[in-house]
Amino acid sequence: MSEHFFKKPILNSPYACPGRHWELDPDGQPTNRILDHRRRSDLITPVPKTKKQRQNTKQAALLLGANDDLSTTDQEYNPTPIINEVRGYVETWRSLPNPDQWLVTPETARLMQHWRHHKFEGIRPFFCQIEAVETAIWLTEVAPKMGPRVAKFWTHIKGANEQANPELMRLALKLATGAGKTTVMAMLIAWQTINAVRHPNSKQFSSRFLIVSPGITIRDRLRVLLPNDPESYYRSREITPPDMLRDIQSAKIVITNYHAFKLREKLVIAKGTRQALEGWRGDKVQTLETEGEMIQRVMGDLMGQKNIVVMNDEAHHCYRERVKDADGEPADDLKGDDKSEAKENNEAARMWISGLESVKRKLGISLVYDLSATPFFLRGSGYIEGTLFPWTMSDFSLMDAIECGIVKLPRVPVADNIPGGDTPKFRNLWEYIGKKLPKKGRIGGKALDPLSLPAELLTALEALYGHYEKTFHLWQEEEIGVPPVFIVVCNNTATSELIYNMSRVLTGSVTTGPRRRWKTVASRCSGTTTISATGCRARTPS
C-alpha cells in the first residue's frame, strides 16, 4: 500500500472537475504515483471473489472488465466506454462559453448558470452533483439535436432496458456514498418542473414525480424534496433561483418506500370462514387489493396524472432477476445462507420493480432515474454479481470522492497483534470470523451475549478503537472542529447489536470524549465487514 496516498489522499477541489488522481495497480491499490488528468470510469468488481472465481482465471478477468465486449454468457457487458464517451461530450458542451450554444431552453441555461456561479450562502453544490444533472440534461435536451453521431447513446440505453426491464425506461447516475444524491434529486426536480411549467406542451419535461426509497428512514429524510417542507432544498439549499421558486410549487411529488407496492388484504377473513365461503361459492374469495387500488393508496395525489418521472434512491435494490442464462441453465449455483440471501434480495427487488411496472401500466412513466453509489446487480440476480447496470450514464466513484475531499476519509491502522501466519488477519477479517457470527437479524426477546463474538473480532475492535482514541486526542489538541467517527459495518442487525453492546464494555459506558462518537451500522451485505476510524474531512454530517 502507498503510505503517501493515505497521508494525503485529497488532490482536487470538490467544486471543480477533478484534474489529478492517484494511479491504482491491477489489484486496485495505490502505486504512489499521481497522474495529471481525470480518472476514467472503470469497472472494478466491488465484491470478493468466490472460490469458483479464484479457480477460474478467465472468469476473474471478465469480472474485472478486461473485455469491453459482451461476454459469452451475455451477462457481463461493461458500459464504462459509453460512460467515458458521454463524459467527454458533456465536458466539451460544458466548456462552451455562450449559453446560446448550449442547445437548451432558457430556463435550463438559467439553472445551470445558477448552480455553477451563484454565491451560495450555505452549502454549495459539488461538481459531481452538477455533472450528474448535466449528464441527464445533455442526454435529454442536447443529444437529440446533434444527429446520428450521438444517437447511439439512446440506442444503447433503450437496448439495455429492453433486455433487463422492457416495461421501463431507466437512466442510472452513479455517485459515491456521501456525495449527496438528495441534492441531485432536487436539482433534477427543479429542472424538470420549471421547464414543464413554462413549456406546458413539451413532452420532454414533467412536474409529476414518484420517489421510491428502500426503507422508511430514508423515505422520511427525502421530505426535503417537497416544495412546502420547512427544510425544502429548493429554498434552504438555494437549488432554485428566487424568481423560479413559484414554479416549483406546481410540482406534485409522492415519496414512498417500495414495501408500499405490496398488495394488501382489504378484508381479514379467518381461515375456516374463508374455506366455508369458497366451498359455498365455488370460487376463490378475492380479498387482495387490485393494482389500481394499490396505486390509489400509494400515490393518490398522482391519480389521473400522466408523464410521471420516477426517482429510485439506492436503485441497486430494484431489478428484474434473470432466471436462466443463455444456455437455459440456472444462472447461479448458490447454497445455504447465500441462497437464502439471494432469495430475499430477489423478492424485494421483484416487489420494487413490479410496483413501478404497475404504475407504468395504469398511469404512465416517462423515465426512471436510478441513483445509487453501487448500481450493480446483486448476488442471485441471475447476472454476474457486481455487473454494472448497463443503463448507467454517469459515474463519480468512491476514489473520485476521496480525491476531491467530499466523503469521509478512511484511516488505515497498521497494527495487527494477532500472532501466527504471515498475512495480517485484519486485512481479511471476514474469512476468519464470517461463519462464527449470527446468520440472521435480531429476534425479539432473544438475549445476545457480546462476549460470544469471535476472539479475532474482539481483538480487532480493541486494536482499532485504540488507534481511533489516539486520533481523537490528536485532533482535540489541534482544535479540529469535526471529530473522527469509529464506524463498524456489520452483516446484519444481530451482529450490530452485539458489537454495540461490546462497545459499551470497551468504552466503559462513558459518554464523554471519544467514546460518545462510537457508532455501529448494520448492513445487509454479508461477505464483507469494514471496520474503520474515519477522518476529519467529511463534508456531510456523520
Query: Which residue's C-alpha cell is 434480495?
Result: 345
Answer whether 503's CB lies under 8 Å from 457's CB: no
pLDDT at 513: 45
**For residue 77, what pLDDT band results from cuts at 50, 70 and 90?**
low
Beta carbons within 8 Å of 287's beta carbon, 6+ residues apart: 265, 266, 267, 268, 269
Per the model's pLDDT, the better-predicted residue between 337 and 542 turns out to be 337
Kind of pairing between the strands at 518-522 and 485-490: parallel
Q: What integer pLDDT is reported at residue 40 of this predicted model?
A: 93
Lowest mean pLDDT among 136-145, 237-246, 330-339, 511-520: 511-520
What does the pLDDT look like over 225-256, one tens digit per residue? 999 999 999 999 999 999 999 999 999 999 99
User: DSSP letter at 288?
Assistant: B
Residue 385 confidence (pLDDT): 83
What pLDDT does 391 receive? 96
Kindly report, residue by residue over 100-119, the tens digit of the pLDDT: 999 999 999 999 999 999 99
**CA-CA distance, 418 to 425, in Å (whole number)?**
7
Least reliable range by pLDDT among 412-416, 448-452, 459-463, 538-542: 538-542
Instruction: Summarize the confidence of residues 454-464 as an average pLDDT.
Output: 82
Contact 39, 21 (CB under 8 A): yes
Cα pseudo-dihedral 120, 123, 125, 129, rounded to 10: -160
Decide: helix, strand or coil at residue 211.
Answer: strand
* Contact between 362 and 292 (Cβ < 8 Å): yes
Nearest Cα neighbor of 252 from 190, 302, 199 is 302
- Of residues 153 and 44, the one with the higher pLDDT is 153
pLDDT average, residue stretch 68-86: 64
DSSP 145-159: GSTHHHHHHHHHHHH
Distance CA 295, CA 356 (A): 10
Please tell me the chain's helix, strand, coil percentages from 3-state DSSP, rounded to the nearest 5. Answer: 45, 15, 40
Q: At residue 94, does pLDDT exceed 70? A: yes
Range of lowest pLDDT (1-5, 333-337, 438-442, 480-484): 1-5
Q: State which amino acid sits at residue 525.
A: C
Q: What is the mean pLDDT of residues 8-14?
A: 92
- The DSSP 8-state label assigned to residue 481 in this structure reads S
For the chain, the residue count is 542
**Is residue 443 scored above 70 in pLDDT?**
no
- From the list 204, 179, 181, 184, the residue with the least C-alpha distance to 194 is 204
Q: Is residue 220 predicted with pLDDT exceeding 80?
A: yes
* Banded pLDDT at 62 (limits 50, 70, 90): very low
- Residue 275 banded pLDDT, cuts 50, 70, 90: low
What element of type H or E holds 254? strand 252-257
CA–CA separation, 183 and 185 (whole Å): 5
Query: Residue 54: pLDDT above 50?
Result: no
Helix (H) / strand (E) containing 472: helix 455-477
Q: What is the pLDDT of residue 276?
A: 65
Q: How far is CA 392 from CA 62, 81, 154, 368, in A?
A: 19, 11, 12, 12
Lookup: cell for 394: 454517469
Identify residue 46 by its one-letter amino acid code. Answer: P
Per-residue confidence at 280, pLDDT binned at 50, 70, 90?
low
Report whether 288 contacts 257 (CB < 8 A): no
Tell me the three state secondary structure of residue 230. Answer: coil
Q: What letter represents residue 271's amino acid?
A: K
- Residue 531's H or E segment, with its range, is strand 530-534
User: What are the cell numbers at 80?
Assistant: 464504462
Summarize the confidence of residues 69-74 as an average pLDDT.
Answer: 37
Using the predicted structure, report yes or no on whether residue 208 has a pLDDT greater than 50.
Answer: yes
Taking residues 123-151, report their average pLDDT: 95
Average pLDDT, the chain: 80
Kindly state the cell numbers that stand for 48.
470478493
Confidence class for position 343, pLDDT limits 50, 70, 90: confident
Condensed to tens digits (0 to 9), the pLDDT of residues 358-397 reads 999 999 999 999 999 999 988 888 888 888 999 999 999 9
Higher pLDDT, 291 or 67: 291
